[in-house]
Structure 1
Amino acid sequence: MDFTECYGDTVSSVAAAARSGCRKRVRRLIKRGFSVDCRDNRGWNALHEAAAAGSQGCVQEILSAVAGGSSSGCRAYVNSLTHEGESACYLAAQRGHLAVVRFLLKAHANINQPTNDLSCPLYAAVDGGHKEVVELLVSKGAEVNRTHTASCWTCLHQAVYEGHSEIARILVNVCNLEALDDHKISPLFVASQYGQQECLEILVNAGANVNTQAADLATPLLISSQEGHQACVDYLLDHGADPNVACSSDWPQLPIHAAAEFGHISILRRLIAVTDRVCDRGDGMVSPLYIAVNGSQSDSVELLLKEGYSPDAQDCTSSLGLRTPLSFALCRSSDRPYSESVRLLIAAGASLSKDDWIYALSTNKTELLQLILEHRRVPGQKNSSTLSHEEKTALKPQELRELLSVALNQVHFSACWLPLLLKAGLDPSLLLQPNMLEQAHSEVLNYLLELVNWATLSAALKQILCRRRAEKSWEASPHFESIPSLSHMCRLQVRTVLGPDQLMRTDVIQQLPVPSPLHRFLQFRDVQEASFTHSPPSPP
């Protein structure tokens, strides 16, 4: 700490003269008997002031006066320390005063004297980027591999961190290239972390290990991928860095995961080309899609999917507590509309599970269901070449079964999801189940019955309707008392022949030899949709 400004009047007369670099005044004061060893509130004496100011003349005057006593006294004086443990040599080296450092070393200054915070003259010169001072201290035998500061960095660590490439070029010839700090981080790791490409090249050319691993198993390639240092990533890969080394003991993290999480697209593209694809679907591995979703990096998600990474990936429940990238993206999409990652995964054909359908159906919001139906089609009973050109992927049988299971357990929201599903081609007869008829709101039930032959319902379902009518929980449309009209029976037959999916979703209806005004009728567009105007009951 420097209290010079606060306590400027506490320095001795000689020290004040030394600070200003006035050699004649220093000499005159010494001759008049003023002390050179009076200390200020920082523990600084006249020699500290002269060294810090870079005044070789003042240093000479002060040491000459001290040498008049005894050689041992002079040596003790030249190595006297401030309250922070700083020697005159340290202060001169810190400020790059080459001539003063050279003179102090001739006066037997301790070249390796540590400060209270474990720095030393060489470390201070490296930190300040004073190349010539570094060269001098190294040539005079300064310890180059000592650890300094609380993090246990060596001078080489610090030179690389600061990007002092010329100093690093000196130190690689005398320092331990694989020296590790308290986190087992080497100088090359530091260069990769802070994007010091020139220092990285110096270290690699000197023989430093490009695949060194820190205490947490991170590699230089992983850290440079995480920090977005493209040039460092390219250089490491070009000089033997292994992109498939596991960089975490918790799960097999790779550099590709770091690039995906932080959205460094050009780095991600480079790593995709060299990373083993076993990370995509392999058991015990983790697809980078999970990490891209976690980082909300839709650009990363898009690139990974484009390059062939599976939208379903592997089940990571045991390692990350995540089942699929889509389930993870959905649970992170607390706000509407759903994230771009959700859209990309669904568009890429991600499998939809029961939990995913719950997100889509157990709400009065329809954005997710609309998104799903935009990219996935409800399969019909008929196969037709008219669908072969469509880009939409049909729901798998298991997905359809789980959709129905969730729908029938989310009847309270059926006013929202029922019109969308029926317009998408879902066969309404699949929803004619007891709990649907028991729980559906009156408008919803009427809408559903309009799309079927209500006269042919099973006795059990008719009994449910009779009970609801008696309880006045269902206000039936008047024509449900009658036999369905011939026109209604005809459109039901058309749907049976074509299949609900084609009738409701495609333009095949326009190819039928019937007047165009009937197209709307055949697609049930004359049926009034239910509206979500009621509140679902509170959960138990």
Structure 2
Amino acid sequence: MTVSADTEVNGVGDDIERYHQEIFEVVTTGDLKRFNDILDELDRHKLPTIKKKVLNMGYQEADGLTALSIAAGEKHKSITKTLAKCSEVDVNKASFSGITPLLMVAEVGWPDILDILLERGAIVDATPSDKRGEDNKISGSTPLINATKYNHPECVNRLLAHHANPNHQNQSGISALMLAAEQGYFECIKLLVQAGADLDLAPSGPGADNLNITGQTALFMATLKDRVDVVKYLIEKGADVNVQNFYGISPLFLCVESGNGKLVQALIEAGAHVNFTPEGELAEENFLVGQTPLFSAAKSGHVEICEYLIKNGADVNAVTMTGASPLYTAIEEGHLEVVILLIRYGANVNQSPKGQVARDLHIENQTPLLIACMKNHEAIIRYLIQSGANVNLTSEHGTSPFLAICQHNNVILARLLIRHGARYDVETKNRYDGKINSLIIAAESGSFDIVRLLVEIGLDVNYKIEGTGETAGRTPLFHACAKGFQDIVEYLIDHGADVNATEDSGLSCLHIAAAMGHADIVRILCEHNVNVNQRYRFEEQDVTAYDLAECQQHNHVCQMLKNFRAK
């Protein structure tokens, strides 16, 4: 009996959905026997049109992937191979996202099945390209890119033999060579280079910008991942060692930061510029302009790399756009060995940031010694003084090394600075434009030992801040009372501090101690005959210390004041 087209459609045609669903189940689970049974059943009915239809229909729940693509994705090799050989199967049928069977097989890494698909006419550079592909971040990914990404060199070789484009870039601008270089897939790298992959191809465009990979060549990516063998190979093949990325950063800059000495040596021997610095708008926005590889190495504390760079011509006194030098950043980070090395090779111990950018960042004229004192790096301070650093140079705001050390209660360093000529009576300005001295700074910082030293060498315990700002008139005792430093309060009072002194607004030591809830300070002041009912004009009212404590609900302070007959 001959089966007509009508019979085919009206008979078995009603079962298309059933066959379609059964095939989905078997390619998903890998049931080879049931799969073969279904194909035999379709063949027995001699219904090639229906067979072709069910094998090439996409599955809605699986992004429209066909049975062949699903089988490959699930790594059911026997089923995949059977479907790849099946003449009714369209080897170029793509999913909703643009995924083809060849793309899936390349990802899984089956070179024999890849051969079958290619021989049957699979498009070698087929790639997802519509919005769904973009949304799934696979747009532009060719079979070659996929095979490389998953390190399948045999598949890479076969695809290249079928003229796959080694320079194709995906939606982010990434090529197969970049992926291989980043991951260190050496066999893939060699195959791609031999096939003519562009060594200096780099990502560009919005996709690359979003990933911060614009300008990052294969060499750059290999450097990022410390792939020494890959870097050497790419250099040998002619890769540009002075390429710059989105921010103007070079491969040498990267590897000195990470501390890979072998990479540093390889790049410099290949001609990398040791004084190369980032340039451009983004570099400027991120304060990278002027940062040399030596600056980066010094910041990271890589002593041996610093010395290697210097021996190969790095400028030890080069400054960044902020005016900072390698010595400056090494001190800031506390790298003593780097500091010693840089000074040994001629770094200027008194060089400080200058210019508008430095002013904007409030670091103008901050010398290496001042930074070391601000950070309390004792060993570095000693070495800088020993190396001839000027102990009295001040910043744009008048801060000196001695004033900076007063914040850290390091009396040993304070004495050292004084022995080397540091002025302990120097004054500077606070953020309210008030003139302050070292005793004010020490008292406010809780530096008891420094306070004692300064009083012993003659500083006035009743020194008052000059100016018109809100701190005007405050004394060392006022600051100690405000912060609750009991030992400093007692010491200053014992050495003649006026317990009734007020700032220019009329706020007294007792007022501030009560408002802050420092009961012990209140007690000490009261025991030393402070005026417990002294008034202060606050919000158009005359208030006492008791009023301020009560307003802040410091009940323990209120009780203390009552004990001393406060009203």
Fold in common (TM above 0.5) = yes
Q: How does 1:153-172 map to 2 (within 5 A)?
A: 153-172=141-160
Partner of 2:100: 120
Matched letter for residue 373 of structure 1:
R
Q: 2:438 and 2:290 mapped to 1: Cα distance?
A: 44
Aligned to 2:67: 88
Distance in 2, matches of 1:292 and 1:45, equals 63
Q: CA deviation at 1:190?
A: 0.9
- Deviations 1:193-235 (CA, angstroms, capped at 9, x unpaired): 1111110011111111111111211111111001011111010
Conserved in 2, the CA contact under 8 Å of 1:263 and 1:299? no
- Asked whether the equivalents of residues 244 and 250 of structure 2 are also in contact (C-alpha less than 8 Å), the reply is yes
Q: How does 1:175-324 map to 2 (within 5 A)?
A: 175-215=164-204, 216-248=214-246, 250=247, 252-273=248-269, 274-279=271-276, 285-292=290-297, 300-301=305-306, 303-305=308-310, 307-317=312-322, 323-324=324-325
Relative to structure 1, is the Cα distance of residues 358 and 102 closer, same or farther in structure 2, using a 3 angstrom cutoff? same
Partner of 2:358: none
Q: Give the equivalent residue in structure 2 for 1:142.
A: 122
Change (3 A) 1:343 1:89: same
Contact 1:263–1:292 (CA<8 Å) still a contact in 2?
yes
What are the equivalent positions in structure 2 for 1:139-538 lying under 5 Å apart? 139-148=119-128, 150-152=137-139, 153-173=141-161, 174-215=163-204, 216-248=214-246, 250=247, 252-273=248-269, 274-279=271-276, 285-292=290-297, 300-301=305-306, 303-305=308-310, 307-317=312-322, 323-331=324-332, 333=333, 345=342, 349-351=346-348, 352=350, 353=352, 354-355=365-366, 356-362=368-374, 365=376, 367-368=377-378, 370-374=379-383, 377=386, 393-395=387-389, 401-402=393-394, 406-407=400-401, 412=406, 415-421=411-417, 426=420, 428=421, 431=423, 443-444=453-454
Q: CA deviation at 1:269?
A: 2.0
After superposing on structure 2, the runs of 4+ consecutive aligned residues of structure 1 that deviate more than 6 Å are 280-283
Please state whether the residue corresponding to 1:309 is helix, strand or coil: coil
Percent identical? 19
- Paired residues, number: 391
One-letter amino acid of the structure 2 residue matched with residue 158 of structure 1: N
1:111 Cα offset (Å): 0.5
Is the alpha carbon distance of 1:444 and 1:151 closer, same or farther for their aligned partners in structure 2, counting shifts above 3 Å? same
**Cα displacement (A) at 1:74:** 2.3
Q: Report the Cα offset of residue 51 of structure 1.
A: 8.5
Give the whole-Å Cα distance in 2 for the aligned partners of 1:411 and 1:70.
92
Indicate the SS of the match to 2:116: helix
SS of alignment partner, residue 157 of structure 1: helix
Higher relative contact order (CA 8 A, sep 6+): 1
CA contact under 8 A between 1:191 and 1:199: conserved in structure 2?
Answer: yes
The structural deviation recorded for 1:288 is 1.7
TM-score of the two chains, using structure 1 as the length reference: 0.61
Q: Distance in 2 between matches of 1:165 and 1:205?
A: 13
Q: Distance in 1 between matches of 2:277 and 2:53?
A: 67
Give the TM-score normalised by structure 2.
0.58
Aligned residue in 2 for 1:485: none
Gaps of 5+ in 2: 1-11, 205-213, 280-287, 353-364, 429-435, 440-450, 464-486, 493-503, 505-567
Is the Cα–Cα contact under 8 Å of residues 230 and 266 in structure 1 kept in the other structure? yes
Q: Deviations over 1:23-59 (max 9, x none)?
A: xxxxxxxxxx9x975659xx74147516863737843
Cα 1:438/1:102, change in 2 over 3 Å:
closer
Distance in 2 separating the partners of 1:78 and 1:410:
79
- Classify the secondary structure of the residue corresponding to 1:142: coil
Cα offset, 1:271, TM superposition:
1.5
Deviates more, 1:135-144 or 1:297-306: 297-306
Cα distance between partner residues in 2 of 1:188 and 1:431: 62
Once the two structures are TM-superposed, the CA of residue 192 in structure 1 deviates from its matched residue by: 0.7
The AA in structure 2 aligned to 1:110 is: D
Equivalent residues of 1:90, 1:120 under 8 A apart: yes
Q: Which amino acid aligns with 1:267?
A: L
| Equivalent position SS for 1:108 | coil
Runs of 5+ consecutive residues of structure 1 not aligned to the other structure: 1-32, 378-392, 448-464, 474-532
1:106 aligned to 2:86? yes
- The separation in 1 between residues aligned to 2:71 and 2:374, in whole angstroms, is 72
Does 193-202 or 270-279 show the bigger shift?
Answer: 270-279
Q: 2:228 & 2:403 partners in 1: Cα distance?
A: 51
Q: What do you get for the CA RMSD once the two structures are aligned?
A: 4.2
Q: Deviations over 1:356-392 (max 9, x none)?
A: 33333357x4x34x32432553xxxxxxxxxxxxxxx
Amino acid paired to 2:291: V
